[in-house]
Amino acid sequence: MTLSDSPITCIAHRGGGKAVNLIENTLAAIEYSLELGVTTIEIDVWSIQGKLLAIHDRRLGRILPGDENIMNFSVSELIELASQIGVQVPTLEEVIGVIGDRAELNIEIKGPNCAHTVANVIEAMTVEHQLPYDQFLVSSFDHHQIHTLMNINPYIRRGVLVEGVPLDLAQCCEPLKAYFLGSSLDFVRQGMIDDCHRRGSKFWVFTVNHIDDMRHLCAMGVDGMFTDYPERLMNLLEFHQEPDPIAHALRS
């Protein structure tokens, strides 16, 4: 069984690369995951002065030095601050340029007022790089921005993220016509998975880094897992699932 044959999607969380100590949301991490053969890459974006930067945190201190809100900086200031410690903060255009058609890209909107810019960049990249819309997914915990994106360009696939177990389970997928519902590992429930599937959406889980959790989620019937360690999930999907008996007989 190969990764491409698997019914479960392996998503390199923040670009992947943690196993080899690469900084999240960098081109180096993304390139590493692409070389592994990962079929879906996830990054985070904030809109700074109308430019989308691949960065996760609202405030400095974990990756970049300082403790200020990143919205108080210009694009050039953030890039310069990162370069001083040897860290790269790529733009969304740079990320797409590296990935091209080698994998699909899941863009998670983190900051406010990103939807229009994300839609514009994707539109431009489909023209410049001749990429189909299904090369892209846009997701967020901010369902209002996903709704805005849907109204701007309904051809861009959408993911809605939740951290909890809503009373209406996966109902939020329907008005947003979501390709997937992304749930925190801490709140995965079988009823939520089943309800998501009944509504015609896929059920993806974040962030899954331990083999035991991966095995458990496979048994529950999830459709995808975000992981900092795509090697682990790829190895599980390729070598530790029961082979299809018909396919095995045909190969024999």
pLDDT tens digits, one per residue of 12-49: 999 999 999 999 999 999 999 999 999 999 999 999 99
What are phi and psi for residue 134, nearest 5 degrees?
A: -75, 5
Structure tokens at 119: 């839609």
Structure tokens at 191: 């009823």
Which has the closest alpha carbon to 183: 165, 157, 209? 165
Q: In the chain, which residues have pLDDT < 70? A: 1-6, 239-252
Distance CA 4, CA 212 (A): 22
Distance CA 87, CA 62 (A): 12
What angle, 0 to 180 degrees and rounded to 10, lies between the N-to-C axes of helices 92-99 and 115-128? 40
Which has the closest alpha carbon to 105: 127, 129, 133, 128? 133
What angle, 0 to 180 degrees and rounded to 10, lies between the N-to-C axes of helices 92-99 and 27-36? 20
pLDDT value of position 2: 43
pLDDT tens digits, one per residue of 153-181: 999 999 999 999 999 999 999 999 999 99
pLDDT value of position 191: 98
* pTM for the structure as a whole: 0.92
pLDDT value of position 239: 64
Peptide bond before 207: cis, by omega within 30 degrees of 0?
yes
Phi-psi region of 156 (alpha: psi -120 to 50; beta: other; left: phi over 0): beta
pLDDT value of position 250: 35
196 contacts 203 by C-beta, under 8 angstroms: yes
CA 249 to centroid of chain Cα atoms: 36
pLDDT value of position 42: 99
b/e burial code for range 176-215 (CB count within 10 A of at least 16 → b): bebbbbbbebeebeeebbebbbeeebbbbbbbbbeeebbe
pLDDT value of position 238: 87
Q: DSSP class of residue 209?
A: -
pLDDT value of position 96: 97
**9-241 under CATH 3.20.20.190, yes or no:** yes
CA angle at residue 86 from 13 to 40, to 5 degrees?
20
Match 């939807």 to its residue by tokens.
115
